Structure 1
Amino acid sequence: MILELHIIQNFAPSNLNRDDANAPKDCEFGGYRRARISSQCIKRSVRRHLSFSKSVKEAGGEVGVRTKRLKNRLVEILMGDHGRPADDSDKVAAAMIDLLGFKLSDAEKTEYLLYLGEGEVAELAKIALSAWDALKELEIGKEKKKKDAVPESLKQAQDALKSVVAKSRKETRSYAADIALFGRMVADNKNMNVDAACQVAHALSTHKVEMEMDYFTAVDDLLPGEDSGSDMIGVVEFNSSCFYRYSLIDLNKLRENLGLNNDLLAAVVKGYIEASVKAVPTGKQNSMAAQNPAGYVRVLVREDGFPWSLANAFQKPVFPVRGTSVEEASIAALEEYLGRLKAVYGDESVLSDACFSVYDTSRGSLPAVLKAAVESVTKGATA
């Protein structure tokens, strides 16, 4: 079973997702320059949105944290929750990072961002407590020789670490909701890898786009009256674009990543859809406030595992016509293309198809779409 999410969303002048030159990201599609929002930006906006975390936590799940400061977090737990001394906690936390196969910089941070659930971090702290004395004496970075005696408590800690960061073949493991969705890849410790259940496309404008420039100046509030001129000048690039957004969830894989917990599965799906609809990237929002809700949302649940991105509906750029907005024209193009696909491939595999549009309120609403999706997912999971 797969769940597909299609969104049409028009934004006022904005720079929601910047490239290395601080310009809005873009690309070529169908032979025309298009505005773009990266999938990484979209995923971060979704997993950080209150709708997602609220739905997950109400079902007893947790949301992960992406950080280079794992050592600091371990020290906080060891000191705050378990009352261990600061110096010892610092040594033990560093030793745990070493056992996981990571190096710490001079700033006491890992070389790259790690993606962990709070439950996993808490388990790491418990393992540290079980081998406290051995970890305090562990020489970090020293190459271990076969003849070196390894304390039994340290051997047990190493074995326990493997069961925490890796999915055991003997038992089903539940990961944090966003890790279950978006996966985890760790080059230095492949045991920590988690296959993603969710695919997210880069959002593309449905029309050709031209970048525009905002020339700005700033004046010193304490500028003497006899003086004139600006104390800062600059240029900000922006555009105004209507985006097509697409993502899909492999529901069987998500259920597996969530420990076969059907209630949590339904909560994660609900939270993901709601957050995807409501979350907006934060780039340059304080100066542009492009807080524009989606104009169209469609959620399909199908059982044949044959996903349909509808991006090709916009190979030919949409052009607004008199009396019709670019968002309305984009919705019409999407639905026409979807109808063509159904005519060719059939739609017998579709278990649920719910949508809403702000241009035709009789078609449904966000609560109705969420309800239909959750009911279909729950029915499929329990079948």
Structure 2
Amino acid sequence: MPSSNINRDDTGAPKTALYGGVTRSRVSSQSWKRAMRVSFKQSGVDTGTRTKEAAKLLANKLMSLDSSLDEKAALDKTSEVFKAASIKLDKNNETGALLLVSPGQIEKLAQYVIDHDELDKKEVKKVLKTDNSLDLALFGRMVADNPELNVEGSAQVAHAISTHEVVPEFDYYTALDDLQSEDTTGAAMLGTIEFNSSTLYRYANLNVNELAHNLGSSDAIKGATDFIKAFLLSMPTGKQNTFANKTLPNYVMVTIRPDTPVNLVSAFEAPVNSKNGYVQSSINKLEAEYSATLSFVAKPSLTVVLANHQYESKQSDQVDNLADLLNEVTTELTKVVQDENTNN
């Protein structure tokens, strides 16, 4: 990645991590998951809303389904729903913490309220546990007020780190006032922005069986490919207007494993050293580490690689484009899910 500051700490500096005895560039998993959720929305993928105002979402849906309800009546009914679900609302009808709810859950809750004068706690909770949106099924939901409503996330996203050591740099900038007299010298504003440039190793895993439990088998396969695509093409937006650092991956490896996920970050515990770029050396170390892991775990049922044509890969199963990669993943996951359903 070129000069950038896509994920800042509390001082405004790019986040870092100490690994292998040197400082690495770091991008938090939370930051990238947020970018993925935005990517889902832009791509038309079913996406939930994470908010303290879930009660207001439900009230608005109730009013759209029943024109006889005004805002107060709708909020009163909404309060009953959240009480039945054992979720506390404050005086502003907001939850104490952010709550992720899917469009399908809001729709079904509203219809249930309209169809029933008396609310059944079990039914209310059942609605809140079904019709998960993809982001809810992937990243999960924790409800402190009522753990019954928790959803176990099927995906794990690691903090991305650079494969090499980074040294912080600073951009000293000045700005002129457009209405400032031409005879006036000096800037109207000045400051500094810390940034770095790095080759990042990014890793995520997905429990397809758990995703199928959350979404159903057919939706899980489509959801898995949407997850891969969003993970590859999304990017956090920190300081994008300043650095315009929107780039694409140079190398992608996807494995489908029957036993355990494997993060290959240990390939970079000894940082890459190079005066001719880091990408090819990083690919070489990653593929060597992948081969080494085969002594400890079962061989994946599928390993597929997509690489920029500038770089060499020793992996035999390579594809030419992202569409082919997703097609191979879809084909293999279809077999896996069918076998799982047959065995059950």
**Alignment TM-score > 0.5, same fold:** yes
Given candidates 107, 114, 128, the residue that maps to 2:113 is 128
1:273 Cα offset (Å): 0.7
Match of 2:221 in 1: 266
Query: Which has the higher mean CA deviation after the structures are superposed, 208-217 or 358-367?
Result: 358-367
Given candidates 171, 180, 192, the residue that maps to 1:235 is 192
Q: Deviations over 1:125-184 (max 9, x none)?
A: 2233245xxxxxxxxxxxxxxxxxxxxx44x34332122224xxxxxx452211111111
Q: Deviations over 1:4-42 (max 9, x none)?
A: xxxxxxx11001111111111111111111111111111
Match of 1:43 in 2: 33
Given candidates 282, 286, 290, the residue that maps to 1:334 is 286
Q: Deviations over 1:237-295 (max 9, x none)?
A: 11101110111111111111113xx3211110111111111111111101111011000
1:97 Cα offset (Å): 3.3
Q: Is the 8 A contact 1:68 1:112 kept in 2?
A: yes
Q: Is the 8 A contact 1:128 1:157 kept in 2?
A: no
Equivalent position amino acid for 1:377 in 2: L
**1:275-294 alignment to 2 at 5 Å?**
275-294=230-249
Cα separation, 1, equivalents of 2:62 and 2:296: 57
Match of 2:96 in 1: 111
Distance 1:107 1:226, change over 3 A: farther
Match of 2:121 in 1: 158
**1:171-190 alignment to 2 at 5 Å?**
173-190=130-147
Distance 1:17 1:178, change over 3 A: same
Given candidates 318, 341, 345, the residue that maps to 2:272 is 318
What SS class does the counterpart of residue 336 from structure 1 fall into? helix
Equivalent position amino acid for 2:301 in 1: L
Q: Is the 8 A contact 1:52 1:272 kept in 2?
A: no
Cα separation, 1, equivalents of 2:61 and 2:255: 43
What SS class does the counterpart of residue 48 from structure 1 fall into? helix
Cα separation, 2, equivalents of 1:81 and 1:237: 51
Q: Is the 8 A contact 1:207 1:319 kept in 2?
A: yes
Q: TM-score, normalised by structure 2?
A: 0.90
Cα separation, 2, equivalents of 1:234 and 1:98: 50
In the alignment, structure 1 residue 308 sits paired with structure 2 residue 262: yes
Cα separation, 2, equivalents of 1:235 and 1:360: 35
Equivalent position amino acid for 1:16 in 2: I
Residue identity (%): 34
Match of 1:78 in 2: 62
1:105 Cα offset (Å): 4.4
What SS class does the counterpart of residue 268 from structure 1 fall into? helix
**1:134-213 alignment to 2 at 5 Å?**
153-154=117-118, 156-166=119-129, 173-213=130-170
Alignment RMSD (CA, Å): 2.1
Match of 2:338 in 1: 382
Distance 1:50 1:190, change over 3 A: closer
Equivalent position amino acid for 1:240 in 2: S
In structure 2, runs of 5+ residues without a counterpart are: 340-344
Superposed structure 1 runs of 4+ greater than 6 Å apart: none
Cα separation, 2, equivalents of 1:81 and 1:15: 45
Equivalent position amino acid for 2:57 in 1: R
In structure 1, runs of 5+ residues without a counterpart are: 1-10, 57-61, 132-152, 167-172
1:82 Cα offset (Å): 2.2
Q: Is the 8 A contact 1:52 1:274 kept in 2?
A: no
In the alignment, structure 1 residue 67 sits paired with structure 2 residue 51: yes
1:346 Cα offset (Å): 6.0
What is the total number of aligned residue pairs between the two structures?
332
Distance 1:215 1:99, change over 3 A: farther
Cα separation, 2, equivalents of 1:250 and 1:377: 11
Match of 1:146 in 2: none
